[in-house]
Amino acid sequence: MQQLFTPEKKEKISSLIIRQIRTAIMQGRLKPGEALPPEKELITQFGVSKHTLREALRALEGMGLIVIRRGAGGGPVVSRVDWETARDSFADFLHFQDFSLGHLSEVRRIIEPYIARRAAEIFTPEADAELLALHAECRRLYDEGESLVGAEAEIMFHVLLGKHAGNPVLWVILDFVNNMLAEAKRKMKPGGDFCLMVLNGHQRIVDAVLARDPDGAERWMREHILEVERELERLHAQA
Amino acid sequence: MQQLFTPEKKEKISSLIIRQIRTAIMQGRLKPGEALPPEKELITQFGVSKHTLREALRALEGMGLIVIRRGAGGGPVVSRVDWETARDSFADFLHFQDFSLGHLSEVRRIIEPYIARRAAEIFTPEADAELLALHAECRRLYDEGESLVGAEAEIMFHVLLGKHAGNPVLWVILDFVNNMLAEAKRKMKPGGDFCLMVLNGHQRIVDAVLARDPDGAERWMREHILEVERELERLHAQA
DNA sequence: AGATGATTTTTGTCAACCAAATTTTTAAAT
DNA sequence: ATTTAAAAATTTGGTTGACAAAAATCATCT
């Protein structure tokens, strides 16, 4: 038999407080840097106990929406949600999905050639210099025999290309995918030949970007991504 | 002068508990569906007060990592982080970045034509049926004079194409971008001509996918995205 | 003026209590 | 024996009060 009445949902008080504060921030009624009233006052404003209020504040802190400092003049302050927090949440979600290296690589295959093309089109001399510095760092790592693959500099090489495209949405997708992939790559412990392949791939992309050759940059990036993908699959099959 | 000693960081107890439980889940030592000990026992295990423990549990609940039921046999249970939670977190982050409709549209321009091509390549008869049903629903909305743009069915049309590609990473990107864009579109209240344009665009894509014509699907999707983008910019300029 | 210590503000933690929700058990009735 | 209803047990939800710890401010002494 069908339910006749709605289940009269009793939401937890702390959830109500969380939503109130969160929507106030989202509607711009509370801006980053602005301080919320201290605990004592919030307790009276919301009409709840200290414990209950603190649960709400702790949850908001976990979301990265506020930071709480203690001591005189302290208290909860609205803050910008940083990328680390958002990325963690997204990684938590993906942990329960069944996805593979291939899925991450497919996303790269779609986005990164476009990014490389844009870089060749719009890079400024300053961006060129950053790219060269990062590539030099990659080469140094290789020359000193350290594992290039999965290293911070190798991730940043890819992320940097997107950084100057001025699209934050694209940028975070790029950052996320490359970081997830790097984590997996580090576990595989690829050999020196793999690193050399990566380095050469990067070299061709750098050359094309600096030569302001969008077609070349796009093509070499695609080659690079595919090469890496093939090699990772081979390593994965071995293990 | 350089600091001589580390600042002896005193992390909050609840944060320590949060991290312990979270890493236990991430390392697979706690699986979805598995119940954690009840409050009473966790209090003794961690050696903290009820209040402190509950703050930690509340934060974990906010992350979507656990759900808490009360009553006998209840208590905290590990759960899969759902997409809603992760999406909210990502939206919170983007709220503080300065990004525009153009940035969202650029992502669509890159991804959706590829998705349409893949759909034409791999769609099964069941997927075809789903697509047709959704398109019929879109047409019904238009015929009844309701605003098609920003409607649930219009979002789902785009998301469905990616759903059957079997790449969860790509799928969530698609879902996120289309939902963000839809929210913005709803606020603009576009007219009936806009809706007709969208409907015709969808029609061409459906035809190409059903005809198993990857080139056509890709091309028409690109046209569709660009058309919508131009129109949105025009509306935005008016306001 | 500058250092030092006391005071104040504000969060962090703990403890004990009662209320509400939900399952399990028990008991009764058919 | 099966179904139904009441009672009990379990577990979280919420309140109050108290004290500790951190950090800024203010007063005091040199």
Quick one: closest CA in A to B22, which residue?
A92
Quick one: closest CA in A to B27, which residue?
A95
A210-225 average pLDDT score: 97
pLDDT given for residue B1 in this prediction: 41
- Asked if the C-beta of A86 comes within 8 angstroms of chain B's C-beta atoms, the answer is yes
- Given a contact cutoff of 8 angstroms between Cβ atoms, the answer to whether B53 and B38 are in contact is no
**How far are the Cα atoms of A35, A40, B73, B98 from residue A66, in angstroms, in the given order?**
9, 17, 34, 19
pLDDT given for residue A7 in this prediction: 46
pLDDT band, very low/low/confident/very high, at A4 (cuts 50, 70, 90): very low
Q: Nearest-CA neighbor of B149 among B227, B238, B87? A: B227
Report the alpha-carbon distance of residue A101 to residue A89 in Å, rounded: 19
Cα dihedral angle (A9, A14, A17, A23), rounded to 10 degrees? -80
**What average pLDDT does chain A have?**
91
**How far are the Cα atoms of A143, A184, A197 from residue A194, in angstroms, in the given order?**
14, 15, 5
Distance from residue B59 (CA) to nucleotide C16 (C1'), in Å? 24
Between positions 143 and 172 of A, the ones with CB within 8 A of B are 167-170, 172
Q: For residue B58, give the nearest of A58, A64, A65 by CB distance.
A: A58
Chain C bases closer than 7 angstroms to a protein Cβ = 8-17, 20-24
AA letter at A137: E
Distance from residue A76 (CA) to nucleotide C9 (C1'), in Å? 14
Report the alpha-carbon distance of residue B202 to residue B132 in Å, rounded: 10
- Asked if the C-beta of A14 comes within 8 angstroms of chain B's C-beta atoms, the answer is yes
- Given a contact cutoff of 8 angstroms between Cβ atoms, the answer to whether B25 and B65 are in contact is yes
Between positions 87 and 106 of A, the ones with CB within 8 A of B are 89-90, 92-99, 103-104, 106
Give this prediction's pTM. 0.86
pLDDT given for residue A189 in this prediction: 83
CA max distance for chain A = 73
For A108-146, how does the pLDDT look when each residue is reduced to its tens digit (9 = 90+)?
Answer: 999 999 999 999 999 999 999 999 999 999 999 888 877
A201-215 average pLDDT score: 96
Share of chain A above pLDDT 70, in %: 96
Centre a 10 Å sphere on the Cβ of residue B151 and count the other Cβ atoms it contains.
20
- Given a contact cutoff of 8 angstroms between Cβ atoms, the answer to whether A59 and A103 are in contact is no
A157-178 average pLDDT score: 92
pLDDT in tens, chain B (239 residues): 434 455 455 788 999 999 999 999 999 999 999 999 999 999 999 999 999 999 999 999 999 999 999 988 889 999 999 999 999 999 999 999 989 999 999 999 999 999 999 999 999 999 999 999 999 999 998 888 777 777 888 999 999 999 998 899 999 999 999 999 998 888 888 888 888 999 999 999 999 999 999 999 999 999 999 999 999 999 888 87
pLDDT given for residue A9 in this prediction: 57
pLDDT given for residue B236 in this prediction: 87
Contact B90 A85 (CB under 8 A): no
pLDDT given for residue A239 in this prediction: 75
Residue B190, classified by CB atoms within 10 Å of its CB into exposed (0-12), middle (13-18) or buried (19+), is buried
pLDDT given for residue A2 in this prediction: 38
For A65-118, how does the pLDDT look when each residue is reduced to its tens digit (9 = 90+)?
Answer: 999 999 888 899 999 999 999 999 999 999 999 899 999 999 999 999 999 999
pLDDT given for residue A6 in this prediction: 47
